[in-house]
Amino acid sequence: MRIGVDIDGVLNDVETFEIDYASKFYIVYKGKHLHNPRGDGNSMIFEGNAIGQIGESFVKRVFHENNIPIKDENKEIIHDEYDIISNGKKIEIKTARKGMKNNTFQFNGINPIYNHNYIILIGLTTDKIYYKIISGKSYYDHKKKSQYLDVNGKLKKLVAMNPGNSVNYKLTLNLRDLIEINYFVDELKQIFGTNASYIR
């Protein structure tokens, strides 16, 4: 495998992921090369929606290369109620970079009224990839008039991306809320594999 994946299918090198995979994807879909304007050898800079497309396509490829069931894997990137279906489960994929001045990730474009079963969150830093798989079920607090998602057993508030916007929300998570990517494939197989061991 390429894209920073070792012989066991474990992701281990975000720089190789960016160079071998993300840049090629960006050239195909955007017609331009990625570049690092800092010129310091650190993580390349992606435009906001390019990050989302890269993360979505990357997760689809991980499903495919590890023989995890996936429906419509060869379709172009879609932006609908869900991004992929695996064993009847609807999955939304969100990708974010770590903030420059803090250890947080802002996952944009979450719509709490959508009926997906899971959300796969991919967090990128300059040297590592992190992830979290959470339930797509949202919770509405009528008293506070706020939407929430369950992350690690705690309700995290969804914040409207723009004032008055009732369909586009952002979820901000700390680095400690996410998991290093080494466990990603194993968890995908547990949840979505042919012999999935549990259902959320």
Domain ranges of the chain: 14-192
Strand 154-160 relative to strand 169-174, pairing: antiparallel
Class assignment of domain 14-192? alpha beta
pLDDT digits (tens, 9 = 90+) for 145-172: 899 999 999 999 999 988 777 778 999 9
Q: By mean pLDDT, which of 23-27, 93-97, 112-116, 126-130 is the weakest?
A: 23-27
pLDDT digits (tens, 9 = 90+) for 13-68: 545 555 454 444 443 334 344 444 444 444 444 444 567 777 887 888 889 888 89
Angle between helices 184-192 and 48-65 (to 10 degrees): 70
Mean pLDDT over residues 134-151, rounded? 93
The pLDDT, as a whole number, for residue 41 is: 43
State the Cα–Cα distance between residues 17 and 14, nearest whole angstrom. Answer: 5
Q: What values do phi and psi take at 73, rounded to 5? A: -65, -20
Does residue 82 surpass a pLDDT of 80?
Answer: yes
